[in-house]
Structure 1
């Protein structure tokens, strides 16, 4: 049975909506409501509270500092008052309609104000003339809340949409919108749709339309764990404990529920009437508070009676309940290193995002100075008195304090990270594979774009497959070891003519797949032992070797070829260089052996630490391609010749025409290279990976980043010469087309040269066709240079020397182009060059 209230309430306001908030230091609890006054209750003092008289009637929002309080009222004023005197310090802002909510930034410099108007005002407390207005929402905002770091502002709109703004830049910017989670509510309703931030700042909780409580991660907007099944009425208030270990919720059916964050289970359930607002004591004391619609305030010392519950409340900070916590994955063992314990392993002298996320120094309260030797100070932190100088006693230092190189993490090409309880295991032009975490098992779905040729399928996955590959022949899965069972490689063909339609391979004990690859002939798995294991499609092992560069990063396969990437030596920037190898499995030969993967450098304004590899794949013509975090797509030329390979850029997505106006902020998730186009998924709103529902594919033409300065010339009247600018633009376009077409020619020619006598007529014809295409572009470029004038003759003659055709037809055409523009000297030199070339003297 739910418990009854432990004590009588304290009168705080006349009957009506009543609001409360603790000061940051936890010493005062401010309560305001429909009366023309507010009360300040002192923590641990049962005497009469301090009265703040002469406040405005009908207070609808409260924000508190240690020595001041800000009240938002029905008359549209937002005022700051001194505490405990109650003196009016300043009027921060006015609105024409009633104020509905206010939110004070963690640094106490900014106050966000929402009202029945269609805008939110962000006001500087110290200079009220600094005002920023948010207008992206079509209806009034009911609730506002800053995250604990002040980086984000969540606005719950009456249209049932959550708007997330980033506040770190010079101007607030809309990060994303989230629909279908909260209820559509009028601003005056007592039901809550507020986004209540978890203390670690990575997620917030909000009441859903089904009267559950959903946790949403702010970085990707994914649904994380939910607190469900305890409320039969609309939820009126939510409150996290200061350490995030507990969540309190109240509802219109007079239920107060205390949840455990880690397990989302109900710890206690109370039957308390007409609760409309909740608050934990802000410094972690066992004091719980709420107000009712009758204007009553409950202050309950020693609210939690069970010793285990009190330990949760006063224990270390607990992370937000994620399905797959990215912090846990990042701090998990990498190269044998153990995950960091909360509060341990801070990097000396360098900022650490994880340390900041884990919070202030009170995270060290688990350290005991049991021998009285002064190992900890008043904050619970180890002092440095036991250490010598900066260079002394190095043997006593924590090994985690030692410098370590930055190692590129392993990844599966085409796979996305977990977002909530689902992720894509594979995304390509054939289809996509995605999985859903159901706690005890996963469910896997494989869908195809061409449903006339392939049939979608879906199955329950007790093995918890975390990697997949998909091609025209079948689907490959890999699972990690589980409950004493070995890691498994599972292949399922799309079609079969036998009773058994799949193959399954178990890896040796202690070994699991770091990444997998599938070609039309082989299955490849690179394992945590740095072995490259190769099987036929139905499980016959054919090759096995150990990578020289370790730890492994990723792999990809096409036909007989396998490309592997691993961490190599450490560069001058402290990061390991990525090394790649390409092996011909059938011939057991190395095409490229431990060559450096060219990733380039970061732009000056980049916020990333280094350039990283995003994916590795093979084009539809069978050439290796990579895509890096700079947004550059590259292909590998001459990769069949050992020592001759070079990475050539095909597209720099940062230079796309669609981004030139600066209005679009988007990145691109690489999917494939096919049809001489880059196929990708456009990511907007700060997303780092695709999410559900399935996004559409977008394709971009290749555009080699060839640079040429286009100078604006002016005529005698000082006006810009438009004709000359047009010629210059045409030259730039043709130069890019020449380089790009030459690269594609080299790729096809490399293939034909490698096949030798096995090359087909169609392949040889394709080489000749592409050579003609290159020459046509050069003739167009020659015409542009001829239009520029006689002084461009030397460059024009150079262009003639680049022609591929050896028969003389193209050289004759080049001479005619020069003659058309009356460039007689150039025409003579072209004809002279043609004669020498036909005689084999062109090299001179």
Structure 2
């Protein structure tokens, strides 16, 4: 039933407000303090202001014992005042930061206080001895002392609640993820006030998220949890009735819930119509009133608790009989005092005791079928992660970062509803400042469009606004259908996607044309876009940890298709997804709250852990805010947040780069460092080969460190006489590395091992990762159908009569070769094209000379924390092959015959594969089709090592040029049709 609000009034100014009951006058006095710096004393019946004492600029907490009341202030002190004359008696505690909470024990022997300096101080009033407890990594929000003076529980902005044993001053139990992580007390909305069972302290109530957890004493095991129905926001405070039979909890949404603990039954509730968060609650000693304060300085009293206790929802016959035993058979009237006394005796059993037994009076009564206990299993369900935008800060930050990526940063100021957009490269676009935009909850930024989302407010529908960055700052806005709210947005160069609470992903072009509406199998978590790829994560169910699935879609032209099958997204146990996105090279990657960075495998069916950021931080309270990842440089771009999970974006934050480092065993060992370097670069070399034509640059940047790492491991195995591991490592080597290994084995007198190594077949690191396993169907066997829009009759000769199987031998996630912008300024004019400059090159040790540095490198790597071969950032030029003028090549006649044969084979092969190439690359020009076909032809003919020569022969040979012109001029040629189509568009 609904609790009654007897009275409510403004006691202090807007801000944090605290209240408590007095002791000397039988709860007839109420003490309150607030942000105006006053402590006020009230009479609960007359509601008169008996006195006001100004103590500081801000009074944050108040507590009472039998002789004094104590006030925690923002000037770093806890002051003690006498109850008799309200005069300041002494300064109880001194801290180095504002004091957030003060608590007096039931016995009156102990007083505890906590502060923003992450310390807790405990005073023994008899001996005036003060003890200090340290262990939290953020400002402490609240403290509570066990009624038996044995334990103390504290809650901090670091998200944890700790139980301290006062005798030894040590932590005996830590509860994680109790409150949201903050770095400032004044920004914390959830305070996490815990409560002990009065008198015995046999159980502890801890508000955690949307539930109230009950823990047993000593073992600290969860006995049960209470879940309020239809709760909107997190619980912030808990109190227990003086009899110990009832529990109340308040939320940051202005809701107060009342449970009967024995049956875990909700018997009363109150909901503030203004939804103002609760700060503190106190229970009257007679159990008839609940006192509370909120965040705007109001103080209220709830009544009707007796009615909720006497008339709960339908119960069994035994509980009903226990109430009617209050009356005699010949009584004509109802005695409220008799009912209260009887109910307190019937329902004051130890609900948090170790055995949970009822009272002797109830246990002596014979059990009946109607009074038999019914035990219902409590299924623990995790708090479902809400949707979020990658690289954004929480909504309570001021200003709030809505988006931070390689393009720029988007800030939102809630005070004046303005949006500030700053670009990293001012030559690309000037800064933008949007005034009076309204409430904006999310944003994303790409090279062509700025996307902003507005939630639905009252009768106004949720809106999506996009500002074009390259066409005169044109913008367009569209409203969502009734009942749909935007929860996540993503954008790329040519499209914009918005996910709604209807489990739909609505796709638009960057100019505002509506496209497909994708259906998800669960609520959205986050989205990210890169070129034509859309990375989507959504909830798939509930288990002990977050159960999140993901899918990757290709949004290209007039169709949308799946690039990776829908499958579960791996996360660390009991962790949350913190960031999703793509590497600079286009590989999907994720980052969770435990610091693990994962990259999607080349087969799109497995994830690989490439780094753990928690191993690279100096303090446990530091966290990294990820904004990007580079496979070329093998590092993570992030912001270091000290004592917080999120950065402050008042000014442009400093970006730091931390190297990728796989979480192998014995990470500081030289062997593990070499293993990490080899396998991590082996994973990335395939991606780099896909996006770069400069094969020599890729080889020098990736293959050289890989060769050094594998030879270092091989040398260590030889020195340790571990032939089995040496043979195994040799099976991972290329032909050149294997020759060096054989020579080194011979010089070490291991001729038998050298003979074994000669029989090993070398591997090619560029083609080490297969695209499908033996037990899985190839992509060629999958019928991938594209749903085109337009006149099928006019396109039938282009795409044949019906959609065909698309041959996809390469990984669909990897991007096609493309040119990268060089951000370093270079002088182009005034250079002599005929000038020759002698360049000095530093060569690495060749042959057996490399093994002379094995011992020295092992020693230096063990002392250094940097991965082997990664002391300097990997710099890789990713640029397309430049067009060169025709050169006259003088070769023997036999070489000319070979080239003519290769050219003739390629011409026949290209004519045969032209249709499939055009379908796989719908946006490619004829010259790009020739280049793509050349690369595929080289791979199939085993000409990878002679890529440049083959390309020069094909481009320079006059016969091939004439054949290419014939392909372009032939009206029946599909290349000619693509060219005409491009010219018409």
TM-score, scaled to structure 2: 0.48
1:592 aligned to 564, 574, 577, which one? 564
Q: Deviations over 1:502-528 (max 9, x none)?
A: 222222222221100011221011111
Partner of 1:444: 419
Distance 2:515 2:443 in 1: 21
Counterpart-to-counterpart distance in 1, 2:614 and 2:596: 8
What's the CA shift for 1:577? Answer: 1.2
Q: 1:477 aligns with which of 452, 455, 459?
A: 452
Q: Does 1:365 align with 2:302?
A: yes
**Contact preservation (8 Å) 1:374, 1:383:** no
Deviation at 1:650? 1.3
Please tell me whether residue 433 in structure 1 is matched to residue 410 in structure 2.
yes
TM-score normalised according to structure 1 size? 0.55
2:74: which partner in 1?
Answer: none
Partner of 1:267: none
Structure 2 equivalent of residue 468 of structure 1: 443
Structure 2 match to 1:412: 389
Q: Equivalents in 2 of 1:102, 1:468: separation in Å?
A: 35
- 2:660 is the counterpart of 1:685: no
Q: Which residue of 2 aligns with 1:229?
A: none
Q: Which of 533, 547, 552 is the matching residue for 1:577? A: 547
Note the residue ranges of structure 2 that are not aligned, 5 or more in a row: 1-19, 32-40, 51-60, 72-77, 146-152, 170-177, 190-231, 238-251, 272-276, 284-288, 291-300, 314-338, 349-361, 363-368, 765-985
Correspondence for 1:546: 519
- SS for the counterpart of 2:759 is helix
Per-residue deviation at 1:121?
Answer: 6.8
Counterpart CA distance in 2 for 1:83 and 1:443 is 50
Say whether the 8 Å CA contact 2:143–2:155 is kept in structure 1. no
**Which structure: greater strand fraction?**
1
In 2, Cα distance between equivalents of 1:589 and 1:733: 40
Instruction: Tell me whether 1:799 sits opposite 2:729 in the alignment.
Output: yes
Q: CA deviation at 1:365?
A: 2.9
Call closer, same or farther: CA 1:785–1:370 in 2, change over 3 Å: closer
Once the 2 structures are TM-superposed, how far is the Cα of residue 552 of structure 1 from its aligned partner?
A: 1.7
**Are residues 828 and 378 of structure 1, via their aligned partners in 2, closer, same or farther at CA, if it must alter by over 3 Å?**
farther
CA RMSD of aligned residues (A): 5.7
Which one of 470, 474, 477 corresponds to residue 504 of structure 1?
477
Cα distance in 2 for partners of 1:407, 1:71 equals 40
Matched, 1:652 2:650: no
Q: Is the 8 A contact 1:515 1:526 kept in 2?
A: yes
SS across alignment from 2:435: strand
User: Take 1:465 and 1:524, find their aligned partners in 2: how far apart are those partners?
Assistant: 17
Aligned positions of 1:336-375 closer than 5 A? 341-343=255-257, 359-360=281-282, 362-363=289-290, 365=302, 367=304, 374-375=311-312
Q: Is the 8 Å Cα contact of residues 636 and 646 (structure 1) preserved in structure 2?
A: yes
Q: What corresponds to 2:286 in structure 1?
A: none
Separation (CA, whole Å) in 1 of partners of 2:436 and 2:704: 53
CA offsets per residue over residues 159-201 of structure 1, 9 Å max, x none? xxxxx9999668999xxxxxxxxxxxxxxxxxxxxxxxxxxx9
Match of 2:711 among 779, 784, 796: 779
Uncovered stretches (5+) of structure 1, i.e. residues with no partner: 1-19, 31-39, 50-61, 73-77, 137-143, 155-163, 174-200, 204-216, 226-324, 331-337, 602-609, 711-728, 753-758, 838-844
How far did residue 786 of structure 1 move? 2.1
State yes or no: 1:821 paired with 2:753.
no
Name the structure where helix makes up a greater proportion of residues. Answer: 2
- How do residues 21-100 of structure 1 correspond to structure 2 at under 5 angstroms? 23=23, 26=27, 65-69=64-68
Deviation at 1:570, TM superposition (A): 2.9
2:757 paired residue number = 830
In structure 1, distance between residues paired with 2:100 and 2:506: 60
Q: Deviations over 1:781-803 (max 9, x none)?
A: 2122223x32x121011100011
In structure 1, the residue matched to 2:600 is: 636
CA contact (8 A) 2:489 2:497 kept: yes
1:692 and 1:388, CA in 2 relative to 1: closer, same or farther beyond 3 A? farther
Query: What residue is the counterpart of 2:581 in the other structure?
Result: 617
Give the structure 1 partner of residue 622 of structure 2.
666
Distance 1:63 1:693, change over 3 A: same
Q: Give the conservation status (yes or no) of the 8 Å contact 2:104–2:111.
A: no
Structure 1 residues 833 and 692, CA gap change in structure 2 (3 angstroms): same
Q: Distance in 2 between matches of 1:467 and 1:481?
A: 13
Contact 2:455 2:461 in 1 (8 A): yes
> Structure 2: how far apart are the matches of 1:202 and 1:611?
15
Q: How many residues align?
A: 556
**Alpha-carbon distance between aligned partners in 1 of 2:652 and 2:640, rounded to the nearest angstrom:** 12
CA distance in 1, matches of 2:236, 2:304: 25
Change (3 A) 1:371 1:585: closer
Cα distance in 2 for partners of 1:814, 1:528 equals 59
Partner Cα distance (2:463, 2:99) in 1: 54
Distance 1:416 1:630 in 2: 18
C-alpha distance in 2, partners of 1:623/1:343?
48
Contact persistence 2:64–2:70 (CA under 8 A): no
For the structure 1 residues 391 and 599, does the alpha-carbon distance in structure 2 shift closer, same or farther, using more than 3 Å as the test?
Answer: farther
Residues 654 and 83 of structure 1, relative CA distance in 2, 3 Å threshold:
same
The answer to whether the 8 A contact 2:667-2:673 is kept is: no
**Which secondary structure state, in structure 2, belongs to the residue aligned with residue 411 of structure 1?**
coil
